[in-house]
Amino acid sequence: MDKKEFLLHSIIRAYIEHCEPIGSAQLKSMYNITFSPATIRGYFKKLGEEGYLAQEHISSGRTPTVEALKEYWIKKLQFDLPYVNYERLNELANEMSLSIFLKQQTNDILYRVLNIDNTYMILEFYKTASNINSEYAMTTSDDSYAVTIKYNEAFYKFLNDVVGRTFDEILDISLQVGASHLYTQLSDHMQNNTFSIINTKQYLNLAVQNGLNEREINLFLQGDIMPRIDDGVYVENLVPQGKIAICHKTNIDGTDTKMLVIGDLSRDYEYFYKGITQ
């Protein structure tokens, strides 16, 4: 890391920790930096010209721009997350005003498809989840459950071809082939049994402040976004300007889960991820 990049990372850290403009002398004392304040100001000027730092007026400190924060977190948040403590996740989400979307990953198997008088089809799933008794897990202790949809001869044959596939695989297949009725029924079951949100109010505030429409809001609140995204950091399209979304497949108190975190770019996500793994 060269001097310029080091100073940019330093001022971003200082801004995230203190949520205020940072001056050259202040940054030097905070991190015991060996460069002189004049040297730091020189690099600050270059970083401002490159679009990474902003300054309200000539005598004020600097703040990182949205672009600087985007690049910083994209580099910092690319890592595996093998385990999360649900109690700490709940605490820190509320402390830091983050919205957390949780979709339990199930290995439940489609056992058989029943034709009821050419009127309805019953899809019977057997549960194979490794942990259904933790504080976090929302599934019941029953070994099986059913999803009912209207009968269609061609679709009945199709569903028999996917017997033995998991619930999540069939949900994904139904999305890909445009089987909207099946997708809706499976999504409803998912929302009631394997999908939850921490801090719904915070997400609604974000949606209202950024003028999101009903379809965009329901995509998140009903859990439909979860099968559509992969692990990674999202700073455009998925979230409004100035926000960030981070998706990880992880294990929460013994339950395999896809977790989506949404919040302001200026939040301290290093502190957050360290906290939820303790």
The pLDDT tens digits for 187-204 are: 888 888 889 999 999 999
List the structure tokens of 84: 């999360």
Give the DSSP letter string of 196-250. EEE-HHHHHHHHHHTT--HHHHHHHHTSTTGGG--SEEE-SSSS-TTEEEEEEEE
pLDDT 10s digits, 61-76? 899 999 999 999 999 9
What is d(CA 11, CA 110) in angstroms, rounded to the nearest whole number? Answer: 53
Look up residue 132 and give its amino acid.
I
Q: What does the pLDDT read at residue 97?
A: 96
CA distance 245 to 234: 5
The pTM for the full model equals: 0.84
Cα–Cα distance list, 102 to 85, 169, 218, 271 (Å): 13, 17, 15, 20
Instruction: Report the half-sphere exposure of 212 (CA within 13 A, side-chain side).
Output: 20
Tell me the C-alpha to C-alpha distance, in Å, between residue 99 and each of 89, 118, 261, 275: 10, 44, 6, 16
Query: Mean pLDDT for the chain?
Result: 90
In the chain, where are the structural domains located? Answer: 3-64, 75-103+196-276, 107-193
Mean pLDDT of all residues in 139-161? 83
pLDDT in tens, 35-44: 888 999 999 9
Confidence of residue 140 (pLDDT cuts 50, 70, 90): very low
100: left (phi over 0), alpha (psi -120 to 50) or beta: beta
Could you give the dihedral angle defined by the CA atoms of residues 248, 140, 166 and 260, in that order, rounded to the nearest 10 degrees? Answer: -20
pLDDT of 133 reads 46
Specify which residues 103 forms β-bridges with.
195, 258
Mean pLDDT throughout 75-99?
96
Is the domain spanning 3-64 CATH 1.10.10.10? The answer is yes
Q: What is the pLDDT of residue 210?
A: 94
Q: Which two tokens stand for residue 64?
A: 């990182």
